Amino acid sequence: MQKLNVSDKVWQRLLDVRSEKACACCGDFSESEQEALNLYSPIARRDNQQLIIGQIGQSLDGRVATVSGDSGEVSGPDGIVHLHRIRALVDGVIIGVKTALHDSPRLTVRHCEGPNPARIVIDPNGRLPNDSPVLADDGTRRFVIQAVETTRPGGVEVIRLEAHDGQFSPNEIVEALRSKGMGNLLVEGGSYTIAKFIESELLGRIHISIAPLLIGKGPSGLTMSNHPQKLINAIRPDTVSYSLGSDVVFDCGLLPEAIDASKPLHG
């Protein structure tokens, strides 16, 4: 397992890579700083094919909440910082409406330095209340992707897509967001929303961040409708594991172009 040192120098370099002021491949860094660059630079880079990454924070037994829906502190402190680093390096964060309703997340960057990403909610039926924190006007772009005509507060950008059997095509979602200038994207959850992006072969990478607790029962980090009967057919990502401190993250490359884009730094 790789040990990380996200020193101030590394983080500043990553922010410079994100804003295309620096490359990620040269410089004088210690081994653990280099590992931090390996983990985060595929997200920060803008010179590759645009990346869509997923992130799940889960327990040792693969759960994201208790049966009663308590989901606040599954990730440990370093897992939370990790999530905020990813937010700071992408252009936009996508969540499904159930996460927006259940968790009322702000999706801002608070545990590291860096810009807030645009906030994007997939809400086909217009269930998200207009006073939700995710739609609060703080100068960040906000999008709602919906099939209905629900009016949204001024400044919120509405993307109207046609749903088929209640479903949007993730490809159409990405196309619409790209046309609005959204490049690298984080699909932050929940499980349903991430699964749709994996099943559409749009997710280049997924970070599965595991915290050392056992919940016993409750919703899983990821459940896919398209799952194999035999293990030989299971998805086996190109994976590197990193110790974050309180949590361990598995950085999984799912698509060949995303795997290739991270290779030069992994050596």
Ligand X SMILES: NC(=O)c1ccc[n+]([C@@H]2O[C@H](COP(=O)([O-])OP(=O)(O)OC[C@H]3O[C@@H](n4cnc5c(N)ncnc54)[C@H](OP(=O)(O)O)[C@@H]3O)[C@@H](O)[C@H]2O)c1
Q: Contact residues for ligand X (CB under 6 A)?
A: 56-58, 64-65, 69, 71, 74, 95-99, 102-103, 122, 124-125, 127, 163, 166-168, 170, 188-193, 196, 219
> Nearest approach, Cβ of 13 to ligand X (angstroms)?
27
> Nearest approach, Cβ of 61 to ligand X (angstroms)?
13
> Nearest approach, Cβ of 124 to ligand X (angstroms)?
4
By beta-carbon proximity to ligand X, the closer residue of 50 and 66 is: 66
Tell me phi and psi for residue 143, to 5 degrees: -125, 145
Q: Which residue is nearest to ligand X (CB)?
A: 190
By beta-carbon proximity to ligand X, the closer residue of 10 and 109 is: 109
User: Which is nearest to 255 in space by CA: 199, 186, 205, 195?
Assistant: 205
Q: CB of 66 within 8 A of CB of 58?
A: no
Q: Which two tokens stand for residue 171?
A: 């490809």
Residues with Cβ within 8 Å of 105's Cβ and at least 6 positions away in sequence, in order, are 95, 99, 133, 134, 188
By beta-carbon proximity to ligand X, the closer residue of 24 and 156 is: 156
> Nearest approach, Cβ of 19 to ligand X (angstroms)?
27
By beta-carbon proximity to ligand X, the closer residue of 122 and 203 is: 122
Q: CB of 73 within 8 A of CB of 213?
A: no
- Would you give the DSSP letter of residue 116? P
